[in-house]
Structure 1
Amino acid sequence: MEILIDLTIAFGAIMAAAYCLLLSRRLRALTRLDGDVGKAIAVLSKQVDDLTKALRAAQQSNTSAGAALDQQITQATATARRLELLMAAAQSGQAAPAARDRPMPTEPTGGFAPQLDLDAFTPLRQSTPRPDSDTRRRVMRTREQIGGNR
């Protein structure tokens, strides 16, 4: 009986050694860069590195573009408010001395900036001056119709 148990243990050890040999050959073939799978792993690894670099560059570009867009939106909002006040003053027949003293904001990149000659501005029709509260209500109502109160 002991001989049979020893033979079973020896046979199990031989089978385990053969399985380990088979696994080691497969692992060596997998990690070898000459084979198809090794080449695919190397190419995919390089592509992941390239995509990571491209993603970082896109994030930096997005951040700088977002900051520039925020600045332009702020300038556009300020210009729109000034324009609304000028229109309200022109419709009510009043001059806008505070608007004449301030220069128009320009883009930081030196782009196109319209210049207004407020002295040459004449409204299409002269209207009677209205109280300030009525003008303000009218401007606010116009703003709500255009795009809501900001």
Structure 2
Amino acid sequence: MLIDLIADALLLGGAVCACVYCFVLSRRLKKLSSFESGLGGAIAILSTQVDDMQRVLKETEATAGEASSQLKELVQEAEDAAGNLEVLLASLTDMPEAPITQTNIPTHPGVPVAAPSAAVEPDVFSFVTARARNT
């Protein structure tokens, strides 16, 4: 009899603990499933953020495409300018090395020739011509 009474008391205690556990679990599930503050609200916020991020990603891709095309144009212009500079440097190597004096300045008939104000040194273009020859 005493053992039956102890077994019933333990069974009653277990049932009370199970009831308290179910009550606490029920309250947590209600909080979790509430739309405003629980998991539903978090899912709604994340969904709007994903939509915003997709929109921003599309705008960024469009901007990057425009920047890429502008960069290609600028690179092409730079390559053209580099080609022009190479031609100019190559033409500098064909220049005579003699200093410019009054005797080798080309003259046109009927045009008065003024005396140069300062003598041009023969090494004025030496850096440019040496650089052009080395490339």
Give the alignment's TM-score, normalised by structure 2.
Answer: 0.53
Corresponding position of 1:67? 68
One-letter amino acid of the counterpart of residue 57, structure 1:
K
| Counterparts of residues 37-48 of structure 1 (less than 5 Å) | 37=38, 40-41=41-42, 44-48=45-49
The answer to whether the 8 Å contact 1:32/1:38 transfers is yes
Corresponding position of 1:138? 131
Q: Aligned pairs, how many?
A: 103
| Counterparts of residues 102-121 of structure 1 (less than 5 Å) | none
Corresponding position of 2:12? 10
3-state DSSP class of the match of 1:18?
helix
One-letter amino acid of the counterpart of residue 64, structure 1:
G
Corresponding position of 1:101? none
Residue 32 of structure 1, CA deviation: 1.7
Distance in 1 (CA, whole Å) between partners of 2:53 and 2:39 is 21
Distance in 2 (CA, whole Å) between partners of 1:140 and 1:49 is 60
User: Taking structure 1 as reference, are residues 140 and 91 closer, same or farther at Cα in structure 2, changes over 3 Å only?
Assistant: closer
Corresponding position of 2:80? 79
Corresponding position of 2:113? none
Deviations 1:49-108 (A, max 9, x none): 2333134314522541453145224303421321212321442357xxxxxxxxxxxxxx
The answer to whether the 8 Å contact 1:31/1:38 transfers is yes
Identity %, equivalent residues: 17
Residue 138 of structure 1, CA deviation: 1.5
Distance in 1 (CA, whole Å) between partners of 2:66 and 2:10 is 74
Distance in 2 (CA, whole Å) between partners of 1:85 and 1:42 is 62
Corresponding position of 1:22? 24
The Cα RMSD (Å) is 3.6
Corresponding position of 1:53? 54
3-state DSSP class of the match of 2:22?
helix
The answer to whether the 8 Å contact 1:84/1:139 transfers is no
**Structure 2: runs of 5+ lacking an equivalent:** 96-119, 123-127
One-letter amino acid of the counterpart of residue 29, structure 2:
L
Residue 42 of structure 1, CA deviation: 5.0
Residue 4 of structure 1, CA deviation: 0.7
User: Taking structure 1 as reference, are residues 65 and 140 closer, same or farther at Cα in structure 2, changes over 3 Å only?
Assistant: farther
Distance in 1 (CA, whole Å) between partners of 2:26 and 2:60 is 44
User: Taking structure 1 as reference, are residues 52 and 67 closer, same or farther at Cα in structure 2, changes over 3 Å only?
Assistant: same
Give the alignment's TM-score, normalised by structure 1.
Answer: 0.49
Larger of the two Rg values belongs to structure: 2
One-letter amino acid of the counterpart of residue 28, structure 1:
K
